[in-house]
Structure 1
Amino acid sequence: MTDPAYFERMYARSDDPWGFDDHFYERRKRELTVAALPRARFGSALELGSSTGALTEQLLARVDRIHCVELHPRGVEIARRRLVADSERVRFEVADLSTWTPAETYDLVVASEVLYYLDAEPLARVLGWIRDQHASGATVVAVDWRHPVAEHRWSGDEIHRRLTEVLSAASGGYRDTDVTIEIFEPAGVESVAVRDGLAPSAHDTRPGGPES
């Protein structure tokens, strides 16, 4: 795990230590992430490394309830203030992902710019239970910065390579020079257009599909 002193320094510096509210990159990244969600609504979500709650706030427009797991108590404190109006829909937990394991299953698992802080063994363990969540029906969303950062144990591209090894192929997402966003839906789930009746199902053998 990245030295906890790094996070202490960041939170001592500011209530918005990574500029989540100030930078256009951050606002755009959140909007792209939420727009890429393949369902209009999810019942339950798990957000890993929720920090100050900036992404949580936008996820709440598409999720009934969210369980937020964050390493630093200061991040949770700031997030609680931000999300006070939605407090009944958000559960916060201060925990180290290196040793933490979920006790329930979720419809959506979001890991935004967090997995590359983990050392090799904890990362393998976390990827293992993410795989189990996915196998139980969870959609997994991974978002990662692509530029080098001294405190990161892995590059963002390596994290996505590792995710592809343990999950089904990404069903959608977005990538540019700065960020990769990938959506991993459970195996066998059909596309948004198919589910909306706008495109033929791969399982529909009628000529012309569902509108014939």
Structure 2
Amino acid sequence: ADLLAYPVWAWHWDDPAAPTAPWDRARALVLDADVRDRKARALAAYPSQTLPLSGAPGDEAIVDDRHAAHHLRAEEWLFAPLRSRSRESFDAHYARKPEGWDFEGSWYEQRKRAVTLAALPRPRFRSALELGCATGVLTAALTGRADAVLGTDVAAAAIEQARHRAPDARFETAAFPAEWPEGRWDLVVLSEVGYYLSPDDLDRTVDRVLETLDDDGVLVACHWRHPDDDAVTDGDTVDARLAARWPRPALVHHVEEDFVLSVLPGPAVTSVGRAEGLVR
């Protein structure tokens, strides 16, 4: 079942010329006369809201006639939640383009991958988890930096390619955050997939990372900053949400026109200079 949002004060405060309500996700529920009558009687049961408290300025009714009219119409307006991009959508993408995106041929992809690897605060990790590994190009590079690497992706076709490209890694077909792999990690990579998650699923993903990340571990998040028709949100929104929910400031925060990259540390992580004794 979906949890729908009901606009209470949006009718009072939102601006029709520049609305903030997500009208593309609005749904109408038609009400019969009996339901409308019951609603009107329920609203009238709260005179502290519908009648003036006194004749003094500032004591006017909170829910005045104009506002109440929105709630007594012949239909209810509700807002559907944002949904994460579906498994079927990714399956269809790989059916059209078996390589997914041009991970190996694109200089953007090659350079971004090099920047991501260079941002890692240690030369070696014990156990790495890549969420949304696609066809395994970054996963293969991570096997040179970690003793064990697990890649997960929602698309079975992508996982099949990843197994051939990165034979030293393990792979699981899984939709995170609901399908979370067993284990603990000192490196979690979230590259170019956070904006395919609904805000709720992104929050739950952060929670799962925090639950399974070792104290000396890091979350590395890298995201495209330009529009994507298939995305639920965007790279800047994802990066800001990660920073807001993470309990410590970013160890690395790299922003350029095309992508944003953050390295979010566990409680035992220090800067590279401090870890090597260059800073005391």
Return the index of the structure with the highest Cα Rg.
2
Global fold match (TM > 0.5) = yes
The correspondence of residues 57-68 of structure 1 with structure 2, limited to 5 A, is 57-68=140-151
Deviations 1:123-163 (A, max 9, x none): 22112112323474421100101011111111111111111
Deviation at 1:62, TM superposition (A): 0.9
The correspondence of residues 101-180 of structure 1 with structure 2, limited to 5 A, is 101-134=180-213, 136-167=215-246, 168-180=248-260
Opposite residue 9 of structure 1, the aligned amino acid is A
- Pick the aligned partner of 2:261 from 173, 181, 185: 181
Unaligned runs of 5+ in 1: 201-212
Opposite residue 67 of structure 1, the aligned amino acid is L
Deviates more, 1:71-80 or 1:184-193: 184-193
Opposite residue 80 of structure 1, the aligned amino acid is R
Match of 2:155 in 1: 72
**1-structure distance, mates of 2:214, 2:141:** 26
RMSD (Å) for aligned C-alpha atoms: 1.6
**Residue 3 in structure 1 maps to residue 75 in structure 2:** no
**1-structure distance, mates of 2:213, 2:150:** 16
Aligned partners of 1:98 and 1:118 also within 8 Å: no
Deviations 1:70-114 (A, max 9, x none): 100110111111123x2xxx1110011141124221010110011
**2-structure distance, mates of 1:183, 1:92:** 23
Deviation at 1:172, TM superposition (A): 1.0
Aligned partners of 2:103 and 2:137 also within 8 Å: yes
Deviation at 1:120, TM superposition (A): 2.8
Match of 1:43 in 2: 126
Aligned partners of 1:105 and 1:136 also within 8 Å: no
Flag the structure with more relative contact order, 1 or 2, with Cα contacts below 8 A and sequence separation at least 6: 1
**1-structure distance, mates of 2:106, 2:140:** 16
The alpha-carbon distance between structure 1 residues 56 and 156, as it changes in their structure 2 partners (threshold 3 A), is same
**1-structure distance, mates of 2:181, 2:215:** 13
Opposite residue 104 of structure 2, the aligned amino acid is D
**2-structure distance, mates of 1:123, 1:105:** 19
Unaligned runs of 5+ in 2: 1-83
Deviations 1:154-180 (A, max 9, x none): 111111111112211111142100101
Opposite residue 157 of structure 1, the aligned amino acid is D
Opposite residue 192 of structure 1, the aligned amino acid is V
Deviations 1:19-40 (A, max 9, x none): 1111100000100000110001
Opposite residue 128 of structure 2, the aligned amino acid is A
Identical-pair percentage: 36
Runs of 4+ in structure 1 off by over 3 angstroms are 133-137
Deviation at 1:192, TM superposition (A): 0.7
